[in-house]
Amino acid sequence: MENDNDEYTKELNVAVRVVHMACSLCQKVQKQLLFPNNSNQIKSKDDDSLVTVADWGVQATVSWMLSEAFGGQNISIVAEEDVQTLSKPESSSQLGMVVNAVNECLAEAPKFGLKGPNDALGASQVLEAINRCDSTGGPVGRHWVLDPVDGTLGFVRGDQYAIALAMIDDGEVAIGVLGCPNYPVKDDSLIKYSQQCPFMSEMSSREEGCVMYTKKGSGKAWMQPLIHGDKRLEWQNSARTIHVSSIDDPALATFCEPVEKNNSNHSFAAGIANTVGLRKKPLRVYSMVKYAAIARGEAEIYMKFARSGYKEKIWDHAAGVLLVQEAGGVVSDAGGTPLDFSRGIYLEGLDRGIVACSGFKLHEKIIGAVYASWESSNL
Ligand SMILES: Nc1ncnc2c1ncn2[C@@H]1O[C@H](COP(=O)(O)OS(=O)(=O)O)[C@@H](OP(=O)(O)O)[C@H]1O
Ligand SMILES: [Mg+2]
């Protein structure tokens, strides 16, 4: 980040600032969800998964800002949301809320060192910005990859969630940025957070939130606290480097997994944990905050074993994987092969699951245990 001539410096600089903006938008929406009458900020998509004003608002904001910074309409953005649900006549009140949230957020761009639009965007421009993110990625060229709100369930429950932005260049993740608005910057904060009951009413009293970022080959990853009130983002002063944990004894290691058993087989992971001698209870955390916990050294292992037939999407992993790798960790599929981000929106060819560790020793043990246990499991 120090040398302005370095490749991807501008991209990373803009991406980090945009993710700060997105965090600010999400925090406002999550606070509004506190009020019982505000459930109209949440909708079910045609596949029954949830989507909120924040998902659409972040996607529109990030899409608009990236397009302004990098080449207008020609930019390739792969992102989770489309405009199908939001364009329906019965979604007009949600569309109004999204447009307001986006304009409020874009108006704050100067606070984050960026330039927003001269005039507020209309509904059609907001829909167009969301719709522009319809790229399917691939092996050639640059593709931005966005999960506007990863861990939507955590978000609506007032718990952990992440805004994940990455850029893939010729099939490899080149930059990764994770905004974690409910992940405090203090050490050990995630474990403490998960031990308290994270009622939203308590949130305003906590000092929360950070953005973590990295660039491929830098061997470094950084964390900045979110800014609040009228403060401006002070880039140089606020960043500090983060590193994976040095613990390689399974008995001392902490392992993370998805909260929902639908998203990962908890009992298979418990068997692996037992085989390698992990002693601590799993840390169940929503969203890519699990990758952030490994990159920050708060946990040593992340395992996810989705049910057979589920295809993992690149936006659920790209930013987190690079953060863990550049902070000193190792990530692969459950067969030990690196994840392949070059084959479109899915992690095609993924073998059984995903394993991220703070170091090679733990990683080797987990992969060995997967091989030993797989035959006897019914995944
Ligand atoms: N059936 C199934 N199996 C595996 N994974 C699934 C499944 N369904 C959805 N997803 C994707 O998982 C994303 C959330 O993963 P997490 O690891 O954060 O899980 S959890 O929320 O903690 O349970 C979640 O991301 P978001 O949609 O952004 O929340 C989904 O992309
Ligand atoms: Mg997601």
pLDDT surpassing 70 at residue 4 = no
Q: Name residue, tokens 């993992």.
A: 312
Show the ligand 1 pocket: residues with CB < 6 angstroms: 49, 80, 147, 150-154, 258-260, 262-263, 286-287, 304, 306-307, 310, 313, 316
Q: Whose CA is nearest to atom 12 of ligand 1?
A: 263
Between the CA of residue 68 and those of 6, 16, 114, 222, what are the distances in Å?
A: 21, 15, 10, 25
Check whether 371 has a pLDDT greater than 80.
yes
The Cα 185–Cα 265 span in angstroms is 30
Q: Is pLDDT at 352 greater than 60 in this prediction? A: yes
- Flag whether pLDDT at 336 surpasses 90: yes
Instruction: Tell me the C-alpha distance between 165 and 329, whole Å.
Output: 19
Tell me which residue has its CA closest to atom 7 in ligand 1: 263
Nearest protein CA to atom 24 of ligand 1, as residue: 151
Q: Above pLDDT 70, what percent of the chain?
A: 92
Closest C-alpha to ligand 1, atom 15:
287
Binding site: which residues? 80, 147, 150, 316
Q: From ligand 1's centre to the CA of 40, what distance in Å?
A: 22
Nearest atom within ligand 1 for CA of residue 55: 28
Q: Cα-Cα-Cα-Cα dihedral of 93, 98, 104, 109, to 10°?
A: -170
pLDDT of residue 357: 98
What residue type is assigned to position 23 of the chain? C
User: What does the alpha-carbon distance between residue 112 and residue 109 come to, in Å, rounded to a whole number?
Assistant: 5
In the predicted structure, residue 257 carries a pLDDT above the cut 90 = yes
Query: What pLDDT sits at residue 191?
Result: 75
How many angstroms is it from 230 CA to the middle of ligand 2?
30
- 37 vs 314, higher pLDDT: 314
Residues sharing a CB contact under 8 Å with residue 247, sequence separation 6 or more, in sequence order: 253, 300, 358
Please tell me the distance between residue 301's alpha carbon and the centre of ligand 1 in angstroms. 18
CATH topology of domain 9-242: Fructose-1,6-Bisphosphatase; Chain A, domain 1 (3.30.540)
Q: What is the pLDDT of residues 192-203, one digit of tens each?
A: 777 665 554 454
The pLDDT of residue 48: 62
Choosing among 3.40.50.300, 1.10.8.60, 3.40.190.80, 3.50.50.60, the CATH entry for 250-374 is 3.40.190.80
CA of 129 to the centre of ligand 1 (A): 24
159 is catalytic: no
Which pLDDT score, from 0 to 100, does residue 202 have?
52
Point out the annotated binding site for Mg(2+). Answer: 80, 147, 150, 316
Q: Across residues 333-358, what is the average pLDDT?
A: 97
Would the pLDDT of 2 be above 60?
A: no
Mean pLDDT confidence for 94-118: 96
What residue's CA is closest to ligand 1, atom 13? 151
* Amino acid letter, 268: F
Question: Measured between alpha carbons, how far is 286 from 316 in angstroms, rounded to an integer?
Answer: 12
Distance from C-alpha of 279 to C-alpha of 375, rounded to nearest angstrom: 24
Helix residue ranges, H only, the chain: 9-32, 53-69, 92-107, 123-131, 152-156, 189-195, 200-203, 235-238, 266-276, 289-295, 318-326, 360-374
Nearest to 258 by CA among 268, 250, 248, 249: 268
List residues, by chain if needed, whose CB lies under 5 Å from ion ligand 2: 147, 150, 316
Q: What is the DSSP string of 298-344?
A: S-SEEEE-PPTT---BGGGTHHHHHHHHHTT-EEEETTSPPP--SSS
The mean pLDDT value of the chain amounts to 91
Q: Which of 263, 313, 317 for a ligand 1 pocket mutation test, highest count of atoms within 8 Å of Cβ?
A: 263
Give the C-alpha separation, 316 to 176, whole Å. Answer: 12
pLDDT of 269: 97
pLDDT band at 29; cut points 50, 70, 90: very high
Percent of the chain surpassing pLDDT 90: 79
Q: What is the mean pLDDT of residues 23-40?
A: 83
Report the length, in residues, of the chain. Answer: 379
Which of 55, 159, 254, 333 does the annotation list as catalytic? 55
Ranges of each domain in the chain: 9-242, 250-374
The arithmetic mean of pLDDT across residues 296-317, rounded, is 97
Tell me the ipTM for this assembly. Answer: 0.97
pLDDT per residue as tens digits for the range 140-151:
999 999 999 999
How far, in Å, is the centroid of ligand 1 from the Cα of 290?
Answer: 12
Residue nearest to atom 6 of ligand 1 (CA): 263
Write down the residue that tokens 């394993």 correspond to: 355
The pLDDT confidence band at residue 46, using thresholds 50, 70 and 90, is confident
CA of 77 to the centre of ligand 2 (A): 15
Average pLDDT of the segment spanning 15-43: 86
Give mean pLDDT, residues 96-100: 96
Mean pLDDT of the 116-139 span = 97
Instruction: With a cut of 90, say whether residue 291 has pLDDT above it.
Output: yes
Q: What is residue 72's predicted lDDT score, i.e. its pLDDT?
A: 73
Residue 238 DSSP SS3: helix
* Joined tokens for residue 60: 């529109």
Catalytic residue from among 52, 61, 152, 214:
152
Here the tokens at position 213 are: 């970022």
Query: How many angstroms separate the Cα of 64 from the Cα of each of 36, 75, 194?
Result: 31, 10, 35
Cβ contact 105:57 at 8 Å? yes
The number of the ligand nearest the C-alpha atom of 263 reads: 1
- CB–CB of 12/23 below 8 Å? no
Q: Is the pTM of this model over 0.90?
A: yes
152 counts as catalytic: yes
- pLDDT in the model for residue 45: 74
* pLDDT for residue 193: 72
Q: For the chain, what percentages of helix, strand and coil (3-state, to nearest 5) are there?
A: 40, 20, 40
